[in-house]
Amino acid sequence: MDLSRQPPRRPSSLSVAGIAAVARLTDKARAHANETLGNFVYGNDSGLDRITLEFLGLDAEDFAEAADRYTDAELAN
């Protein structure tokens, strides 16, 4: 995903695994992995990302690798 061309999904627009913020986090993680974050921040630099990652028990780099490797459906499982 290239966030310099389009914004990530809104935290409330879609949930992954029942957690609304994960869809946006996934978009940002994929952009982070592909170095296309644009003006957005990811991981510990974002308050909502940090809270969501802590809830999931993951760090930003591990989540970015998983988001880049798997589809939304695969991440939800």
**pTM, to two decimals:** 0.85
pLDDT tens digit sequence for 13-60? 666 777 878 889 999 999 999 999 999 999 999 999 999 999 999 999
Range of the domain at 32: 21-76
| pLDDT at position 29 | 96
Q: Is residue 70 part of a domain?
A: yes
Q: What is the number of domains present in the chain?
A: 1
| pLDDT at position 6 | 87
Q: Is residue 13 part of a domain?
A: no
Ordered DSSP codes for 43-71? GGGSHHHHHHHHHHT--HHHHHHHHHHS-
| pLDDT at position 19 | 81
d(CA 1, CA 22): 15
